[in-house]
Amino acid sequence: MTEKVALVTGAARGIGLATTRLFVDAGWKVAMVDRDLDELDIAAAEFDEATADFACDVSDPKAVDRMVVAVTDRFGRIDALVNNAGVADFAPIEKTDFAMWRRVMETNLDGVFLVSQATVPALKKTGGAIVNIASISGLRASTLRVAYGTSKAAVIQLTKQQAAELGEDGIRANCVCPGPVRTKLAMAVHSQAIIDAYHDAIPLNRYGTETEIAEVIVFLCSDKASYVTGQIIAADGGFESTGVGLPALRQG
Ligand code: NAD
C-alpha cells in the first residue's frame, strides 16, 4: 500500500503537533514544518522515520518554495496539506498598528496562500486535500480581534476559492474553525475574563483539546471525506451554534 504523506505547518506544538501524532498513528508520513527550530527539534524527536522536520517561515515566499521542493525530494509525494501555522495578537482597533496587522496577516493569511500555491502541483498528482485552520474568530466578530478575526475570515473565503478552483483537479479544500484550546497561542491572549466568557458561551462548557481538533483535520484529509469539499467545520463545543443566554438557562 502506498504510504500517504501530509505536510503540516506549525507542527512544532499545539494543534499541529497533535495532528502530526494522529497522522503517524494512522500510518501516514508527515513533513513537520515550523519556524521555531528549537521546538521543532524537540517535537520531532518523539517520532522515528515517520516524520521529517523542515524549518520554514510560511510567510516567506522563497523559503516556502524551497521547503516544498525539500518535502517532495524527501517523500516523493504530498497527499494532504494542513495550513495550521498561525499567530494571535489581540488589541483594540485604535491600538492595532500596521506592524501588528501585517504580522498577523503575513502568517495567518499570506502563509496559507503561499504554502497552498506551492503545494498544488504535488496535490494535483495525488488528488490530495487541503485543510486550512481558521477559527471561530473568523466566523463571529469579537472584541480585540480586528487583525486576527479578519485574517481568519479571509482564510474561510480562501478555502472556498480553493475548493471552487481546484475541484476539477481532484483536490478537496476544507476549513476547520477551532474553538478555544489551551495552547501556547491561546494562553498568551486569553485572560481569566476571556476564559470565563468562553465557558459561559460554549454549550459543552469547556475548552477543547488539541486532539479533538486534530481528529477533525485528519478525517477531512482522509478518503472517508472523499466527497467533502468547500466546507467550513467548527470544532468548537457548540459555540457557533448558540446565541445569548446560556449562563441564565443553565441556572433555570
Ligand atoms: P501554537 O502557538 O501552539 O502553535 C502554532 C505553531 O505555528 C507554533 O509552533 C509556531 O512556531 C508556528 N508558526 C507561527 N508562525 C509561523 C510561521 N510564520 N511560519 C511557520 N511556523 C509558524 O498555536 P495553536 O493554538 O496550536 O494554533 C494552531 C492554529 O489553530 C492557528 O492557526 C490558530 O490561529 C488556530 N486556532 C487556535 C485556537 C486556540 O484556542 N488554540 C483557536 C482557534 C484557532
Helix (DSSP H) and strand (DSSP E) numbers for the chain: 10, 7
Task: Tell me the average pLDDT across 44-64.
Answer: 96
Q: Is any atom of ligand 1 closer than 6 Å to the C-beta of 111?
A: yes
- Smallest Cα–Cα separation from 148: which of 93, 95, 88, 189? 88
Question: Could you give the dihedral angle defined by the CA atoms of residues 26, 32, 33 and 38, in that order, rounded to the nearest 10 degrees?
Answer: 140
| pLDDT the model gives residue 61 | 98
pLDDT digits (tens, 9 = 90+) for 114-166: 999 999 999 999 999 999 999 999 999 999 999 999 999 999 999 999 999 99
Q: DSSP class of residue 13? A: S
Q: Which atom of ligand 1 is nearest to the CA of 60?
A: 18
Active-site residue, 198 included: no
Residue-range domains of the chain with CATH: 5-181+210-245 (3.40.50.720)
The model's pTM is 0.98
Q: Is the predicted pLDDT of residue 94 greater than 90, yes or no?
A: yes
Q: Please calculate the CA angle 172-166-69 and round it to the nearest 5 degrees.
A: 90
> Looking up cell 499541529, which residue turns up?
16
Percent of the chain scoring above 70 in pLDDT: 100
Q: Is the predicted pLDDT of residue 1 greater than 70, yes or no?
A: no
Q: Is any atom of ligand 1 closer than 6 Å to the C-beta of 15?
A: yes
| pLDDT the model gives residue 2 | 79
